[in-house]
Amino acid sequence: MIRLLVAAMAAWATLASGPSVAASPAKKAVAARDWAKTVVATPQGGFRMGNPAAKVKLVEYGSLTCPHCADFSRSSAAPMAAMVRSGKLSFEFRNYVLNAVDITASLIARCAGPGKFFPAIERVYAAQPRWMARLEAMTPAQEKSLQALSPAERLGRIADIGGLTQIGAESGIAAQQSKKCLADEAALKRLAGMYEAATALGVEGTPTFFINGSKVHAHGWSELEPLIRKAGG
């Protein structure tokens, strides 16, 4: 019995002191790239989120004063973000401004730059009923006073009355920065250029969507999603 015990201890000592084979470390899973975090300004004047080589390229011409566009923003946010993250879909928003209020909201949202643009327009859309109601409630005297202001001052006053300046601040755009963007003539020309280009493509209202360069007949996410999936998204 003692001999067996000694032999067992000797064998254990040999194994313990000899070279050991370490378990191979588990390979770390390579995290898939989140393409939703890739946002750039495009030559056409819009902002694009996603893989530039995505199989499906979606472009929306939208107005920040358009209630249908706001509905689309709310209903499409989660499912479209999942498609964009995968790299299968890219989404570009191009402003199609309809009036002075739309110009004001658009310039403030665009003032945030590519990285903050999409969160900024989501905030503008989410608060749309509130700030539109404030502007629609302007008295004739307030409207008349706007006419006496310079274009930049007029847009700044519209932003203050509607609360768009505060919404911009929630997106990291200081009030002073918003006022500077509202007076940016190059930014105004960019909005005008997008409007003209959209009109030439047959855009007559908002939202209007293009998939891989072709205009599609869809006005909301329920109509658009099947078309995206059919195209390969």
Model confidence over 121-147: pLDDT tens digits?
A: 999 999 999 999 999 999 999 999 999
Model confidence over 157-177: pLDDT tens digits?
A: 999 999 999 999 999 999 999
pLDDT along the chain (233 residues), means of 10: 34 35 49 89 98 98 98 96 96 97 98 94 97 96 93 96 96 94 97 98 97 96 97 85
Which architecture does CATH list for 36-231? 3-Layer(aba) Sandwich (3.40)
pLDDT of residue 16: 35
Give the CA-trace dihedral at 89, 95, 98, 99, to 10 degrees: 150
The pTM assigned to this predicted structure is 0.85
Q: How remote is the C-alpha of 195 from its chain's centroid? A: 20
Q: 11: which 2 tokens?
A: 């064998």
Domain ranges of the chain: 36-231
- Cα separation, 13 vs 58, whole angstroms: 68
